[in-house]
């Protein structure tokens, strides 16, 4: 399972650099659902720094925080 976490994080960061930011958002959701994913927060920050215009609200960072916070009880319930 540790290897899957690393692979998902690497795919997310590569997607943030090379592909559409929404592909990396899927990696954020997958990481947050399976683990306590601090990588998801850094991935959201990376997406905002690379793709967001200057002066806009960091949507992906705020979204990653909300996803990690919302999915925590669900993860505890089903993936103990």
**How much is the pLDDT for 34?**
86
CA distances from 14 to 4, 21, 32, 55 (A): 15, 10, 18, 24
pLDDT tens readout for residues 11-31: 999 999 999 888 999 999 999
55 in the Ramachandran plot: left (φ > 0), alpha (ψ -120 to 50) or beta?
left
**How much is the pLDDT for 80?**
61
Its pTM stands at 0.84
Q: Which residue positions in the chain have pLDDT lower than 70?
A: 80
């Amino acid at each position: 399972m540790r290897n899957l976490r690393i692979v998902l994080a690497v795919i997310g960061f590569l997607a943030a650099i090379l592909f559409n930011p929404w592909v990396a958002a899927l990696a954020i959701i997958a990481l947050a659902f399976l683990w306590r994913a601090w990588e998801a927060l850094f991935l959201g920050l990376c997406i905002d720094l690379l793709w967001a215009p200057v002066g806009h609200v960091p949507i992906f960072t705020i979204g990653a925080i909300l996803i990690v916070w919302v999915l925590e009880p669900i993860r505890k319930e089903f993936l103990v």
